[in-house]
Amino acid sequence: KAGVTQTPRYLIKTRGQQVTLSCSPISGHRSVSWYQQTPGQGLQFLFEYFSETQRNKGNFPGRFSGRQFSNSRSEMNVSTLELGDSALYLCASSLEGQQRFQETQYFGPGTRLLVL
């Protein structure tokens, strides 16, 4: 079974631009989460989607948005990029995001975004 894939793997943008990152979950997984990873902050939760619905959102400004398609693929968008948005953006998928069923969250390799 193919793992979680993220495209593109690397991206360089300039301040003020916008960017769209894509995540394809493991086949059959319907829950997709996004995280921002920076050296000083660790991983910070951005949002989680299930069946095209956002079920939770982290403390990020409205410039960060996401969506999920009917095939469970997800995209996140960052508008009006700032230097501080430079980070590794990780996507993770699981069956339904239900911990009581002992689900495992599988991570993708990430998209490394550099904002100049």
Partner 1 sequence: AQTVTQSQPEMSVQEAETVTLSCTYDTSENNYYLFWYKQPPSRQMILVIRQEAYKQQNATENRFSVNFQKAAKSFSLKISDSQLGDTAMYFCAYTTSGTYKYIFGTGTRLKVLA
Q: Does 66 bind partner 1 (CB under 8 A)?
A: no
- CB 57, min distance to partner 1, A: 8
Q: Which amino acid is at 77?
A: N
Q: Between the CA of residue 83 and those of 12, 29, 45, 73, 116, what are the distances in Å?
A: 11, 33, 19, 27, 6
Q: Does 107 bind partner 1 (CB under 8 A)?
A: yes
Q: Does 58 bind partner 1 (CB under 8 A)?
A: yes
* Interacting residue with partner 1 among 13, 22, 45, 75 (CB under 8 A): 45
Q: Does 51 bind partner 1 (CB under 8 A)?
A: no
Q: Does 60 bind partner 1 (CB under 8 A)?
A: no
Q: Does 105 bind partner 1 (CB under 8 A)?
A: yes
Length of the chain: 116
Q: Does 28 bind partner 1 (CB under 8 A)?
A: no
Is residue 67 within 8 Å of 74, Cβ to Cβ?
A: yes
